[in-house]
């Protein structure tokens, strides 16, 4: 949280972070809705892999 707060210039009070574990099959739909379907302006770092490679 310290790094996010510092690098984003935002108080830790306003930052939320989650970590969730998915198997390769579950990740396919999560990747689509949470990354692939989002506009480029909403994705901080574009993935450099194809999630299908995990199957």
User: Would you state the pLDDT for residue 1?
Assistant: 82
* Tens digits of residue pLDDT in 16-53: 989 999 999 999 999 999 999 999 999 988 999 999 99
Vertex 46 angle, CA 19 and 25, to 5°? 55
Domain boundaries, the chain: 22-55
Q: What pLDDT is stored for residue 28 in this prediction?
A: 98
- pLDDT for the residue 44: 85
Q: What is the pLDDT of residue 4?
A: 87
The token duo for 6 is 């510092």
> Which residue is it, tokens 């935002």?
10
Give the pLDDT confidence score for residue 17 in this predicted structure: 86
């Amino acid at each position: 949280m310290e790094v996010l707060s510092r690098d984003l210039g935002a108080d830790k009070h306003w930052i939320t972070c989650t970590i969730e574990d998915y198997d390769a099959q579950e990740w396919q739909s999560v990747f689509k809705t949470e990354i692939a379907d989002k506009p480029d302006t909403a994705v901080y770092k574009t993935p450099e892999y194809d999630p299908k490679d995990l199957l």
